Chain A
């Protein structure tokens, strides 16, 4: 209630701008320009991924089938919701509602953090299943029809991913397993870059929360800073909306699998192993 009266005096304009309109408009343009670079950044990785996916469709399908789509689905819901909360923060700032700013910024931060924790859990599960790309090779004993064993050298990663796929009930005939590693390299690089951007985003959101606490946004003209922050956050969300189908939906998944995989994330092993 005191919030609105604090917004009576106009916000000071930076020394090199002529008026607040120019300042706001420039800040917005600056963020859009930066987002263009981010599009090209992720776009480069997407193009490389697409090239390989066109050449090796079977292997990429198999790789995707080995991913934990349960966690991914929940994460998508969290991230989309966080975009909503971020937009609500803009509205609060525009109206001068200081409590609203802090509430919605905090909500965005919390949702983003839960996303990251689930993602971390997903990486941990991948690690446990041995799905980390490596150049290590192992020697396995292959049983011959006549009952004897011969030693064969295989890629460790290929062995691990074959195990995972068979557990999911995926038919791996005709799939050249060492190539599936290529899919996983892109999976880690692309989701890893996304995670990095989310961490930076959460950091910036936290900084804005601190600023809000310091009454920085008492001038409602300063809503533009929340707006550009939310532009960045929406962008991170958009990247995820591209990553999701590219990585997770290339291969087949069922709802049952998704639920089981999510339970795994929560540590509720339902006798899956």
Chain B
């Protein structure tokens, strides 16, 4: 490791030269470039498409939250407080499917990925802008169809859709709901193709792979998983539908089929799916933690390669959901070892992030509060996964509230916190307005406290044997359930608060300017909101993405004689004509 001497000059970012107010008011950017509903519905601008995803994903998040409100309220009493058995089963299925397929999987790639990937790599748009819009429409079609199915008849199989229950015994809309999931899956494949092609082919000169922001590495790894995993769930749904429609036995043991085959095929996608959900969140954390501690990321290569490692090894561990299903002794052994392996890259990331804080200059605005929440809660979520990945300890904890607590710590405490961190971090860039510092910090605290209160009791419930998906439960579990519901209410308030202060900032917030957080990164080098085509001229990159300990701007570097070029200092790829260069002041 080469020792880099400490550089002693002020690391202040050179702020973007702001236009004088009269010119700023008349500046054309992506929001005011054109007006009218069709300019939004027929847009091919990746930034507008990102906002389309923002609105729809937030609406679906509310639906999923409504479903879980019903679930948790019902669990106040051991015999079910407000719902019948069937209604409860539909409610928890709705919560799971909506949150997974209509929120966790699409939200960061759809909103932040679409908005930021081209900007972070210095491109004018995604590789396939029209495909991007099509992606949104396909997703909306699938999602709205799916939600409609949940409302008019419901789905009561759990999001896992296991046969023979789902194919032969359930009287709910398994087929149509499956179709909805199929369609949204197709959309995520199109988004993944777009993101991978963009990152490969549209990087600006000087943006080598080792100078990419880690958010891009994360989006790349996520898109790889989406590309490889989603088609398998698609064909699984087709087989399940065939079984249900034609009454034949693909997974039905009474007709020569094997229900465990469904589980293998289902989890082959659904385990990598959880990495599709968390990797973008981890990508966001890279950006916020460096900005708010004003330091370079500790171990860039380690973090970048651990994203790829998670993506690859994540495909090899699906059987840890089936330790007790009868998949076989040796398979269980193999999956357990591989699961221990896949835990390592996540641990590496957490340590690297913590080390990034060392000797930094840390401030705790809302994005950083959500980031710290992520670090604590995702760590807990990750380590509790170890109990479940090991053969011996999974026996007792399988399908209990312990599993529920584990995945909510990673998905909500991890991914949702990261999403909120990203939303709050890039909100000024997307809208040009800054939201209330007080209310945003308060919302973060409320959400995190509520979260802990909701899910810590669930670890205890699970260890004591309370099973998942139970509308009624043994009476001795009541106190912990009430505690959990109380926490959920507090948590809900924390998530509802941004619905007020964020839109309010559009009208009441102060102008944010191009770089309110004094962050590095190409997206912060343009005004907020960004111009239609992102950059007035193609940027050229000469150094890594997190040079907080050095001044930004080419001019300063040249003056200091400190232009660092990494291993590859040349133009990125073939066919590029030498573009103009952005000069810092």
Q: Do chains A and B touch in the complex (CB under 8 A)?
A: yes
Are B193 and A45 in touch, CB under 8 angstroms? no
Enumerate B198-216 residues with CB–CB distance to A below 8 Å.
Answer: 200-202
Tell me, yes or no, whether B17 is within 8 Å of chain A by CB: no
Given contacts A19-B575, A182-B249, A189-B242, is CB(A26)–CB(B227) below 8 Å?
no
Q: B469 within 8 Å of A by Cβ?
A: no
Instruction: Tell yes or no: A269 within 8 A of B by CB.
Output: no
From B202, B227, B235, B579, A45 is in contact (CB under 8 Å) with B235
Partner of A30 from B127, B229, B261, B533 at Cβ < 8 Å: B127
Query: Contact size class for B?
Result: 35 or more
Q: How far is the CA of A41 from the CA of B229 in the complex (A)?
A: 9
Docked pose: A273 CA to B126 CA in angstroms? 61
Question: Smallest CB–CB gap between B220 and chain A, Å?
Answer: 12
Q: Does A257 sit within 8 A of B, measured CB to CB?
A: no
> Could you tell me the distance in whole angstroms from the C-beta of A136 to the nearest C-beta in chain B?
9
Across the interface, do B228 and A16 meet the contact criterion of CB distance under 8 Å? no
Decide if B577 touches A30 in the complex (CB within 8 Å): no
Is B576 within 8 A of A18, CB to CB? yes
Q: Nearest Cβ in chain B — how far from A143, in angstroms?
A: 27
CA of A185 to CA of B250, assembled, Å: 8
* Distance of B247 from chain A, by nearest CB (Å): 4
Bound complex: CA A44 to CA B250 (Å): 14
How far, in angstroms, from A34 to B118 measured CA to CA in the complex?
20
Tell me if B63 counts as interface (CB < 8 A to partner A).
Answer: no
B250 CB contacts on chain A under 8 angstroms? 48, 182, 185
Q: Are B247 and A40 in contact (CB under 8 A)?
A: no
Option from A30, A36, A181, A188 in Cβ contact (under 8 Å) with B256: A181
Query: Contacts of A33 on B, CB cut-off 8 Å?
Result: 192-193, 196-197, 227
Contact call A44/B247, Cβ cutoff below 8 A: no
Q: Which of A34, A135, A181 contacts B193 (CB 8 A)?
A: A34
Which chain A residues border B573 with CB–CB below 8 Å? 22
The answer on a CB contact under 8 Å between A21 and B238 is no
Q: Which of B551-583 contact A (CB under 8 A)?
A: 573-577, 579
Asked if residues A26 and B197 are in contact (CB atoms below 8 Å), the reply is yes
**Which residues 241-280 in B have Cβ within 8 Å of A in the complex?**
242, 246-250, 255-258, 261, 265, 268
* Residues of A close to B175: CB separation below 8 A: none
B287 at the interface (CB under 8 A from A): no
Chain A residues with CB under 8 A of B158: none
B124 on interface, CB distance cutoff 8 Å: yes
Looking at the assembled complex, report how far the CB atom of A72 sits from the nearest CB atom of chain B, in whole angstroms: 21
Question: What 1/0 flags go to A103-138 for Cβ under 8 Å of B?
Answer: 000000000000000000000000000000111000
Distance in angstroms from B475 CB to nearest chain A CB is: 44
The reply to whether A41 and B123 contact each other, CB–CB distance below 8 Å, is no
Indicate which residue in B234, B257, B575 contacts A182 across the interface (CB closer than 8 Å): B257
Interface string of A188-214 (1 = CB under 8 A from B): 110001000000000000000000000
Q: Is the CB of A189 within 8 A of B247?
A: no
Residue B492 lies at the interface, judged by CB distance under 8 Å to chain A: no
B300 smallest CB distance to A (angstroms): 25
**Total A-B contacts with CB atoms under 8 angstroms apart:** 129
B464 part of interface (Cβ distance < 8 Å)? no
Closest to A179 in B: B256
B241 to chain A, nearest CB (A): 10
Kindly state whether residue B172 has any CB partner on chain A within 8 Å: no
With A and B bound together, what is the CA distance between A45 and B240 in angstroms? 12
Within 1-57 of A, Cβ neighbours of B (below 8 Å) are at 15-19, 21-22, 25-26, 29-30, 33-34, 36-38, 40-45, 47-48, 51-52, 56
B167 → chain A closest CB, angstroms: 12
The distance from the CB of A179 to the nearest CB of chain B, in whole angstroms, is: 5
B189 an interface residue at 8 Å Cβ cutoff? yes
Residue contact B255 to A41, C-beta cutoff 8 Å? no
Q: How far is the CA of A178 from the CA of B255 in the complex (A)?
A: 8
In the bound complex, CA of A215 to CA of B238 (Å)? 40
- CB contact list, B118-133 vs A, under 8 A: 118, 123-129, 131
Instruction: Tell me whether chain A's interface is mostly helix, strand or loop, or mixed.
Output: helix
A135: B residues at CB distance < 8 A: 246-248, 255
CB pair A18–B538 under 8 Å, yes or no, is yes
In the complex, residue of chain B having the shortest beta-carbon distance to the beta carbon of A55? B258
Nearest opposing residue in chain B for A184, CB measure: B248
Q: Is the CB of B235 within 8 A of A18?
A: no
Known: A44-B235, A48-B239, A48-B261. A30 touches B228 (CB 8 A): no
Nearest neighbor of B252 in chain A, beta-carbon distance:
A135
Assess the B126–A16 pair: CB atoms within 8 A: yes
Q: Do the beta carbons of A37 and B575 come within 8 Å of each other?
A: no
Chain B residues within an 8 Å CB radius of A38 = 231
A25 in contact with B575 (CB, 8 Å): yes
Q: Which residues of A contact B125 (CB under 8 A)?
A: 15-16
Q: In the complex the two chains form, is A29's CB within 8 Å of B129's CB?
A: no
Known A15-B124, A44-B236; contact A30-B193, beta-carbon cutoff 8 A: yes
Question: B118: which A residues are within 8 A, CB to CB?
Answer: 16
In the bound assembly, the distance between CA atoms of A263 and B194 in angstroms comes to 48
Interchain CA distance A47-B231 in the complex, whole Å: 13
- Give Cα A178–Cα B256 distance, bound, in whole angstroms: 8
* A83 CB → nearest B CB, Å: 23
B454 interfacial contact with A, CB 8 Å: no
The 8 closest A-B pairs by CB, nearest first: A21-B575, A41-B231, A16-B125, A135-B247, A44-B235, A40-B231, A26-B201, A44-B232
Binding site for B on A (CB under 8 A): 15-19, 21-22, 25-26, 29-30, 33-34, 36-38, 40-45, 47-48, 51-52, 56, 133-135, 178-179, 181-182, 185, 188-189, 193
| Interface set of B (CB-CB < 8 Å, partner A) | 118, 123-129, 131, 189, 192-194, 196-197, 200-202, 227-232, 234-236, 238-239, 242, 246-250, 255-258, 261, 265, 268, 533, 538, 573-577, 579
* Subset of 28 A-B contacts with CB under 8 Å: A15-B125, A16-B124, A16-B126, A16-B129, A16-B202, A18-B576, A19-B576, A22-B573, A25-B574, A26-B128, A26-B197, A26-B200, A29-B127, A30-B131, A33-B192, A37-B228, A41-B232, A41-B235, A43-B232, A44-B231, A48-B250, A48-B265, A135-B246, A135-B248, A178-B256, A179-B256, A182-B255, A185-B250
